[in-house]
Amino acid sequence: MGFFESFKTGFGAWIRRIFKKKRAKIGLYGPPNAGKTTLANRIVQDWSGGGAMGTVSSIPHETRRAMRREGIMINANESSIELDIVDTPGMATKIDFKEFMAHGLSEPEAKKRAREATEGVIEAIKWLDDLDGVLLIMDATEDPYTQVNVTVIGNMEARGLPLLIVANKTDLPESSASRIKSAFPQHAMVSISALEGTNIDELYRAIAFYFG
Amino acid sequence: MISMREVQMDLISGEKLERMTSMEKVRLILDKVKTGKIVVLESGLTPVEEVRLIEMTMTEIRLDEFSGIEIESYPAKRESSFLDKIFGRKIKGRMTVIGPANQLRTIEKDKYQIITKVSVGD
């Protein structure tokens, strides 16, 4: 990237932050099974009353196509923000069909799912070029230092776009949101249970603050 | 007598990486990793290069042959400064280890160290 292009990108991000807009296209990113679709469904149901965005499963890579829902109006902090939510497939650096067979899928089903999952990861990466910000969903029961987390955070920092970390699954006893906070202290974080709705209002306030 | 298989580990200097384009780096890494080598990059990849590597890896996954890569690097050292943001300066990559997903396994990782195990197979 040349100096002029670098300046343009950096300056553009800076200007966007000063003149905050009230509509934003937000991507839900994270490793497989972090709860991205569960959160997307909750946001949609809380604010648009529409049907679920996608199906949820304990088998990884259930979401293999990015799904977008437009015009979700969130009211928080005495202001409104209109969101386009993009629920992306789980990011991964490896996909082994045998892992799906261990979850009970037949070999043909597992191979089909693996092929579709690789396409889903590529689709998630392509969406990074077309977003105003990212909600990075992390499973608070897992080690936060995964390469997917490091890579998504690095990309948002490099692009100068806002990022909000969501420590999910706090309903589980082994969860530790503080472990995530100490891993990435430079970024804002909200801990929630997307499944039970715990602390979800705090997340909506943070969305309005950081993306509005 | 214990029979041992060898694993080749290629340590690539920051100087060499600086002279390469992003695509050349991605190609070099994947060519090595697909033949079972472990690659250590002294100065790592930029975040944008990392996603290009993941994207390219996905296109090269073959069922029963190549299931992808294990890649580990440290989080960025610090938030970029005000001037970095204004001028859009790149955040420099940090030391990175990459290997075949079926051979390289991360045991532990934090801000200061990455512990991995390499399996040599049968």
pLDDT 10s digits, A81-139: 999 999 999 999 999 999 999 999 999 999 999 999 999 999 999 999 999 999 999 99
| B116 close to A (CB below 8 A) | no
A13 part of a folded domain: no
Q: Is residue A8 part of a domain?
A: no
Among the ranges given (A66-75, A82-91, B97-106, B109-118), the one the predictor scored with the smallest mean pLDDT: B109-118
Characterize B63-89 residue by residue with b for buried, 16 or more Cβ atoms within 10 angstroms of its Cβ, and e for exposed. beebbbbbbbbbbbeeebeeebbbbbb
Are B87 and A155 a contacting pair at CB < 8 A?
no
pTM greater than 0.95 (yes/no)? no
B8: closest CA of chain A, how far (Å): 21
Q: Which of B21, B52, B54 to mutate to test the interface with A (most CBs of A within 10 A)?
A: B54
Domain annotation covers residue A1? no
Is residue A129 situated within a structural domain? yes
Would you report the helix, strand and coil content of chain B in percent, each value rounded to 5? 30, 25, 45
Rounded to whole angstroms, the Cα distance separating A184 from A210 reads 17
Cβ within 8 Å, pair B73-A186: no
Domain of A117, in residue numbers: 22-211
**Which amino acid, A114?**
A
Contacts of A160 in chain B (CB under 8 A): 85, 88
Please, which residues have CB within 8 angstroms of residue A11's CB and are 6 or more apart in sequence?
A: B86, B88
Number of independent structural domains in chain A: 1
Q: Does residue A206 lie within any of the structural domains?
A: yes
Is A33 part of a structural domain of the chain? yes
- CATH code of the domain in which A193 resides: 3.40.50.300
* Least confident interval from A9-18, A52-61, A82-91, A170-179: A9-18
Q: What is the pLDDT of residues B53-88, one digit of tens each?
A: 999 999 999 988 999 999 998 776 655 566 665 655
B8-57: pLDDT as tens digits: 999 999 999 999 999 999 999 999 999 999 999 999 999 999 999 999 99
Q: What ipTM did this prediction achieve?
A: 0.84
Smallest CA–CA distance from A146 into chain B, residue: B72
A127 located within any domain: yes
Pick the residue from chain B with its C-alpha nearest to A107. Answer: B63
| Rounded Cα–Cα distance for residues A120 and A155 (Å) | 18
Q: Report yes or no on A9 lying in a domain.
A: no
